[in-house]
Structure 1
Amino acid sequence: MDFRKYKTFQVVADCLNLTRAADQLGYTQPTITLQLQSLESELGVTLFNRVGKKTFLTPSGKLVKQYVDQMFALHEEMERELKKLENPHGLLTVAAPEFYCTHYLSLIIHSYISQNPQVKLQLFSCDSNDAMKKVAANEADLAIIAGPCDLPIMETLPLGKEDLVLVTTRELYEKYDDKNILMEKYPFITYKSGSNIQRLVNECMEEYGFAPENYIECVTDETIKRTVLYHTGIALLGSALVEEELRKGTLAELHRFPGKIETSMVILKKRMDEKNIYSFAEIVKRIWTEM
């Protein structure tokens, strides 16, 4: 299909005047006449009639004009959509634990949206295991997680490391001179079995030589911290989550395990080059190191 002939036909059909059509197209009138004759021969119909000095569309010409207008409208729409692909746009869904959402991603999202206003961001607050599952199922475009990711379909981009800290309230800490009694008397508040971070917790407890008999399982680290703050027991949490409480003295440190938690961004390998994901990942990597 020679689009030039159809474009010539569309302009002539709009103008119904060869002189004006020639000015718009930058062709000579003989060139326009040859293109129209070629198109009529190709379609097997007469497109225009002339009565005196006036040009009219034939019934066939009117029908062809209707479809040609639709064809070029679709072509223009395609070009607009292709241009959009040059810049991030549409929906971007990010999954992360509650602490990352409130303390890190709120700032990152503000920076990203200010640079990419055509993107609509959606944020899921969930534990690291569920965040990875959402990415694997294409329910989230990327995730920020605490702990390892062993899925071969994922690209893991390290963001940083933090300590794991065994904590309780200052009140309970000062109540017992023998910390072993404290740890035996009060429950160990921890993550649900099978969670991503729970494997690290188990390793640390084994390293510390403590095997709690009484424990409480929670879904999120924020819930664990709040439960500890109610003088319920002890917990092993990421240092970023408890540093403020340790500084204020509401929590006390029983033991610290340096650099145990690795925070990572996980993305499906096959989606790494998508504009939305790539642009967001670059901002996350830049800002995370500055915070």
Structure 2
Amino acid sequence: MELRHLKTFKYVAEYLNFTKAAQQLNFTQPAVTAQIQTLEQELKQELFIRIGKKTYLTPEGGILKKYTDQLFSIVEKIESSLAELPNEYGIVSIAACESHCTNYFPYVISEFLKLYPKVQIKLYSCKRDEIIKGIESNKYDIGIISGELCRHEITNIVIAEDDMILVVSKDLYARYTEDQLLMKFPLIKYQADGYFESMMSKYLRQTNLSTHNLIEFGSLDGIKKAVLNNIGVGLGVSVCMKKEINNGDLVPIQVTENKVKVKTSIITLKEKENSVTIQSFNNIIQKNWNNIYALE
């Protein structure tokens, strides 16, 4: 069955008049009659019956009308969605922490622009509370936060769960025992509040680590660089250290058997769920997020 034949049937079934249907479709009446006859031959069913001067649907025609109405309702939604596709005036604003802006979004934005090269993108580096407030106030379209956010007006999608780990440089690991490393060198951790701080505290409570000699950095990359420069023992998340651990430059130290997982989520206002631009960007984030460090 061809869509154009079904469209012709839809109009004839609606008006129950071949002449009016032809006028609406800008066809000749013989052309409309020919398309209906073709459809009847394909289905091996009679769709209309004439009684006197009036045209009626047969029972088979009634069944086809039911499904044709559903079909063209979907077609209209497709056309409407395509009409909303990003154009040169489309803008997407994204807020994320500095580490995510630096390590993830160059790749994510590159992939998005391959599909939608005319969309303007604005990327903001913010702390978690700022991101949440910006999403709620409609300042940002998409936010990437640590943890989850359960609020009625916001959609939260968890895109990653990474283990919190303790690492040291290969040089220090070769020179000291693990007990000596934990006693002699400072603990280097992320300067954070809220969710991430609570996850670090949870991890530290399960260990005998001392926090009297403490260094805090404002970025996870800063922690990694400090550890690589033999400054101390670093507390971070596995995904950020994966490349250096695989290369042997960093060595994980197991101080607890209980894993603490740190979640990462996309947040958007629920009222923006039907925005094609925003949903397209979210889909690319979800598809690529967990593979980005592996691409480096």
CA positional deviation for 1:231 = 1.4
CA distance in 2, matches of 1:194, 1:100: 17
> Aligned in 2, Cα 1:170/1:259: closer, same or farther, shift over 3 Å?
same
**For residue 87 of structure 1, what is the aligned residue in structure 2?**
85
> Aligned in 2, Cα 1:135/1:118: closer, same or farther, shift over 3 Å?
same
**For residue 116 of structure 1, what is the aligned residue in structure 2?**
116
Pairing of 1:11-22 with structure 2 (within 5 A): none
CA positional deviation for 1:126 = 3.7
CA distance in 2, matches of 1:150, 1:209: 33
**For residue 216 of structure 2, what is the aligned residue in structure 1?**
217
Return the TM-score normalized by structure 1.
0.63
> Aligned in 2, Cα 1:149/1:168: closer, same or farther, shift over 3 Å?
farther
CA positional deviation for 1:166 = 0.5
CA positional deviation for 1:222 = 1.1
**For residue 173 of structure 1, what is the aligned residue in structure 2?**
173
Pairing of 1:82-231 with structure 2 (within 5 A): 86-89=84-87, 90-150=90-150, 153-177=153-177, 179-231=178-230
**For residue 58 of structure 2, what is the aligned residue in structure 1?**
none
Q: Does structure 2 conserve the Cα–Cα contact (< 8 Å) formed by 1:98 and 1:126? A: yes
CA distance in 1, matches of 2:193, 2:126: 15
CA distance in 1, matches of 2:231, 2:100: 24
Higher-Rg member (1/2):
1
Residue identity in the other structure for 2:111: S
> Aligned in 2, Cα 1:142/1:229: closer, same or farther, shift over 3 Å?
same
Q: Does structure 2 conserve the Cα–Cα contact (< 8 Å) formed by 1:129 and 1:196? A: no
Q: Does structure 2 conserve the Cα–Cα contact (< 8 Å) formed by 1:147 and 1:200? A: no
Q: Does structure 1 conserve the Cα–Cα contact (< 8 Å) formed by 2:188 and 2:214? A: yes
**For residue 64 of structure 1, what is the aligned residue in structure 2?**
none
> Aligned in 2, Cα 1:153/1:218: closer, same or farther, shift over 3 Å?
farther
Residue identity in the other structure for 2:86: P
CA distance in 2, matches of 1:238, 1:232: 18
Return the TM-score normalized by structure 2.
0.62
Residue identity in the other structure for 2:95: A
Residue identity in the other structure for 1:148: E
> Aligned in 2, Cα 1:153/1:234: closer, same or farther, shift over 3 Å?
farther
> Aligned in 2, Cα 1:114/1:193: closer, same or farther, shift over 3 Å?
closer
CA positional deviation for 1:195 = 4.4
CA positional deviation for 1:125 = 3.0
Q: Does structure 2 conserve the Cα–Cα contact (< 8 Å) formed by 1:98 and 1:222? A: no
Residue identity in the other structure for 2:283: E
Note the alpha carbon deviations across 1:120-146, whole angstroms, 9 max, x for none: 011223444443343234332112223
SS at match of 1:148: coil
SS at match of 1:262: strand
CA distance in 2, matches of 1:200, 1:144: 17
> Aligned in 2, Cα 1:223/1:101: closer, same or farther, shift over 3 Å?
same
SS at match of 2:241: helix
SS at match of 1:112: helix
CA distance in 1, matches of 2:231, 2:285: 36
